[in-house]
Amino acid sequence: MTTTTIPQLIDGEWQVSRSEQTLPVTNPATQEILCYAPYATPDEMEAAISSAKAAFEEWREVPPSERARFMMLYQALLKEHHDELAEILARETGKTFADAKGDVWRGIEVAEQACNIPSMLMGETAENVARAIDTYSYMQPLGVCAGITPFNFPAMIPLWMFPLAIACGNSFILKPSEQDPMTPNRLAELFLEAGFPKGLLQVVHGGKEQVDTLLTHPQIKAISFVGSVNVGQHVYRTGNQHLKRVQAMTGAKNHMVIMPDADKNQVINNLVGASIGAAGQRCMAISVALFVGEAAEWIPELQVAMAKVKPGAWDDAEAGYGPVISAQARERILGLIAQGKDEGATCLLDGSDCVVEGYPDGNWVGPTLFANVTPEMSVYKEEIFGPVLCTMSPETLDDAINLINQSPFGNGTSIFTSSGLVARHFQHHIEVGQVGINVPIPVPLPFFSFTGWKNSFYGDQHAYGKQAVRFYTETKTITARWFDAGMSSGPNMTINLR
């Protein structure tokens, strides 16, 4: 690892920023400084955007089949360097090595899907829509697109964005999280190694000022964002005010419903992993468990199972999860745990004083479990983004559905049951975009789309899958007729085709 300032990728070259403002990137388990992330200067931002615009003008003319061949080389390199990427990711995020490998792999899956771009770019056609008139449509690239990505998935989320955008014929500017920029930089190095033309992918670092440049610059045509609700709302509103397409994936409060007829062992095992895995720092983490009726009797066994999970360093094979990303994040989580106690929730398991031997400076939070939680409590209303699980005990399935539907978020939910009738009732009536049936974290594979609802998403077209192809392209519809000498019938004074 290095303690130098990491470079930015501008105009096909790795460049050291001229900025005097930097942010230390630290190992969350030790506080060791791994590198410094620069804040791109206005001139550097302009250079990246100009280069991306020039690259787009040439790339848009490259046939989709050739773009797919580049992407095939790229996904092969990602697989070859899978473990290396995972180690970089683990060191800067604190994730366990196994979890970091999963982060990388879920991104590789989207790069694989981008290799199928020729078939996904096929338009529509109809012959003889009127006499001797045919109509057909093309899907054409937008131009320069940009992505603003969060700290919690520094491989997966960038790979949700730029492979599909570039496969569609666009160029792309990536502004990754300043808290863990080393993984995105390595993704970009492999992108260059795959032989893509100069300037197609730019990587700039920074914070709000750099984000606002992307949101307001006239050459940027589309913005993809993943992050907090407040920032997501700002991205969506500002981007729309400047006539850009925006997809903003934001906050969540995901519920799991447990029916009394479910398999108890499966419920407990899946719930533990889905709630405190990755230290709870997943937008699809389960943060509320609704034990319906007699299923509430399983909560003590859940407490025992959660207590067995121990956090630890990334290379500790026995660790269930790692530290949270920063000391500030830890303090926020501990504050919400204390607030939950003050507001009357029963704290069955308290991870506030968690200590990991050999790592006294780590951002540790132990598994935390609350019972008797009500919708008015802060631990229920706030997205804690830590290893904290709230339990509630509605009497009926419909009570559980009503509670979930009242939430302002609609990212994901799940139900565990052995009844197909119950499962169908749940999936039909629930007002959430991604539903799992005996699956705790229902993140779709990339030939579908990631479809959060309500305040979990701002925009019209979702990430990856067919919707992302629509997001990164514009549809051009052609209506054509070819005359011969005998077809003239005088002026047509109406709007009707004839």
Helices 182-193 and 156-167 cross at an angle (nearest 10°) of 30
Kindly indicate the confidence band of residue 1, based on its pLDDT and cuts at 50, 70 and 90: very low
| pLDDT at res. 486 | 67
Cβ-Cβ contacts under 8 Å for 407 (sequence gap 6 or more) = 253, 255, 454
Pairing of strands 435-437, 413-416: parallel
In this structure, the number of other CB atoms found within 10 A of the CB of residue 362 comes to 24
Q: Could you report the per-residue pLDDT of 407-437, keeping only the tens digit for each? A: 999 999 999 999 999 999 999 999 999 999 9
- Distance CA(193)–CA(201), nearest Å, equals 12
Quote the pTM value. Answer: 0.96
Q: Which of 35, 283, 347, 390 is catalytic?
A: 283
- pLDDT for 485 equals 73
- Report yes or no: 162 and 226 within 8 Å, Cβ to Cβ: no
Residue 78 contacts residue 104 (beta carbons within 8 Å): yes
- Taking only the tens place, the pLDDT of each residue in 454-482 is 999 999 899 999 999 999 999 999 999 99
Q: What is the pLDDT of residues 326-384, one digit of tens each?
A: 999 999 999 999 999 999 999 999 999 999 999 999 999 999 999 999 999 999 999 99
Measured CA to CA, the distance from residue 424 to residue 427 in angstroms comes to: 5
Distance, in Å, from the CA atom of 481 to the CA atom of 131, rounded to the nearest integer, reads: 9
Find, among 451, 445, 416, 458, the residue nearest to 431 by Cα: 451
Assess contact for 356 and 313: CB atoms under 8 A: yes
pLDDT at 295 over 90: yes
**Amino acid identity, position 290:** L
The predicted model gives 210-215 an average pLDDT of 98
* Lowest-pLDDT choice from 130-134, 319-323, 409-413: 130-134
The residues, ordered by sequence, that sit 6+ positions from 373 with a Cβ below 8 Å of its Cβ are 288, 340, 345, 379, 380, 390, 391, 392
CA distances, 497 to each of 128, 132, 396 (Å): 11, 10, 58
Find all residues with CB under 8 Å of 496, minimum gap 6, and list them.
none
> Could you tell me the pLDDT band of residue 282, with boundaries at 50, 70 and 90?
very high
**465: its two tokens:** 């899958």
Q: If we measure between CA atoms, which residue out of 305, 427, 414, 438 comes closest to residue 367?
A: 305
Q: Is the pLDDT of residue 494 over 80?
A: no
Q: What is the C-alpha separation between 397 and 394, in angstroms, rounded?
A: 7
Percent of the chain scoring above 90 in pLDDT: 96
pLDDT of res. 487: 63
Q: How confident is the model at residue 249 (pLDDT cuts 50, 70, 90)?
A: very high
Bridge partners of 15? 8
Residue-wise pLDDT for 90-102, tens only, equals: 999 999 999 999 9
- 192, HSE (Cβ side, Cα atoms, 13 Å): 16
Catalytic annotation present for 283: yes
State the pLDDT confidence band at 495, using cuts at 50, 70 and 90.
confident
Average pLDDT over residues 32-43: 98
Average pLDDT score, the chain: 96
pLDDT at site 497: 75
174-187 b/e (C-beta count within 10 Å ≥ 16 → b): bbbbbbbbbbbbbb
Token pair belonging to 408: 């302002």
Query: CA–CA separation, 367 vs 389, rounded Å?
Result: 8
Mean pLDDT of 273-297: 98
**Average pLDDT of span 15-37:** 97
Mean pLDDT of the 135-148 span:
98
**Longest CA span, the chain:** 90
> Band of the pLDDT at 245, cuts 50, 70, 90?
very high
**CA–CA distances in Å: residue 486 to residues 304, 482, 492:** 86, 12, 16
